[in-house]
């Protein structure tokens, strides 16, 4: 079932820990428990909680009560009569095409591409660019990613994993500066790493940055060109001059 915004409108008393308001207002409760109380003026709410710890709505006939709590603070809205509605909602973002199976619009939002028909999320890696080109296997858009080299892979990591592409290109390409063993391309604790093949005897590992290899560092590791400038694979390397 799609997420929904609940809307309540009426002549309400709005109480916070330090203020009380009274008027005909619109109260919105978003799926993430954000509560907004809007009156007739301006864009800023009269009162609001962003991602409240808890939101409780009680009704008794036409009577209405809402209590939101956040970090020990309370927002309370009460009314003798209220009008209420429920509106299905989805994330909103920049359109990047349509889903080949569902026909739903694909939008880029919050670090992911979302299918608005099913709300399926395809997480993007940091720095990824969504391309017009489609995957020949599943029909989803492809993304351009820099991880040592430029890779173009499917949005669906289960279809064409970025890790496999980086591993094919750089597995055993570099040597551990601490023990001389090969560095393997691995994923550990959610991060793509160049980690020593002698693990756990040698725990040396480096996060592969968003950038492309352009040179060799005096320490023997590669130098990456990133959005922030050039850096050694070892971000703490004292032999890299920049």
pLDDT tens sequence for the chain (242 residues) = 468 999 999 999 999 999 999 999 999 999 999 999 999 999 999 999 999 999 999 988 778 999 999 999 999 999 999 999 999 998 899 999 999 999 999 999 989 999 999 989 999 998 999 999 999 999 999 999 999 999 999 999 999 999 999 999 999 999 999 999 999 999 998 899 999 999 999 999 999 999 999 999 999 999 999 999 999 999 999 887 76
Q: Where are the beta strands (DSSP E) in 51-140?
A: 54-60, 63-70, 73-79, 83-88, 94-98, 105-109, 112-115, 121-123, 129-134
What is the SS3 assignment for 160-209? CCHHHHHHHHHCCCCECCCCCCEEEEEEECCEEEEEECCCCCCCCEEECC
State whether 63 and 8 are in the same domain.
yes
CATH code, domain with 31: 2.30.29
CA 75 to chain centre: 28
Contact of 233 with 224, CB cutoff 8 Å: yes
User: Residue 169: helix, strand or coil by DSSP?
Assistant: helix
The pTM for the full model equals: 0.76
pLDDT on residue 2: 62
Cis peptide, bond prior to residue 200, ω within 30 of zero: yes
Q: Does 82 reside within a domain?
A: yes
Query: What is the domain extent for residue 183?
Result: 167-232
Q: Does 241 reside within a domain?
A: no
pLDDT on residue 1: 42
CA–CA distance, 102 with 2 (Å, rounded to integer): 15
Q: Does 124 reside within a domain?
A: yes
């Amino acid at each position: 079932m799609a997420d929904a915004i609940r809307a309540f409108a009426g002549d309400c008393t709005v109480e916070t820990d330090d203020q009380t308001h009274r008027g005909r207002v619109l109260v919105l409760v978003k799926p993430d428990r954000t509560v907004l109380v809007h009156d007739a003026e301006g864009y800023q709410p009269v009162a609001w909680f962003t991602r409240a710890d808890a939101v409780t709505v009680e009704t008794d006939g036409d009577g209405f009560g809402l209590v939101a709590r956040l970090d020990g603070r309370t927002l309370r809205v009460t009314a003798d009569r209220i009008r209420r509605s429920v509106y299905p909602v989805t994330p909103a973002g920049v359109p990047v095409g349509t889903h080949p199976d569902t026909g739903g619009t694909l939008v880029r939002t919050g670090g992911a591409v979302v299918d608005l028909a099913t709300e399926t999320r395809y997480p993007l890696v940091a720095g990824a660019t969504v391309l017009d080109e489609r995957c020949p296997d599943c029909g989803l858009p492809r993304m351009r990613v820099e991880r040592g080299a430029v890779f173009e892979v499917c949005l669906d990591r289960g279809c064409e994993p970025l890790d496999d592409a980086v591993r094919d290109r750089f597995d055993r390409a570099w040597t551990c500066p601490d023990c001389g063993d090969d560095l393997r391309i691995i994923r550990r604790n959610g991060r793509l790493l160049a980690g020593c093949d002698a693990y756990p005897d040698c725990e040396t590992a480096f996060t592969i940055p968003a950038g492309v290899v352009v040179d060799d560092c005096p320490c023997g590791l590669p130098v990456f060109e990133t959005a922030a400038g050039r850096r050694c694979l070892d971000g703490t390397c004292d032999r890299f001059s920049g």
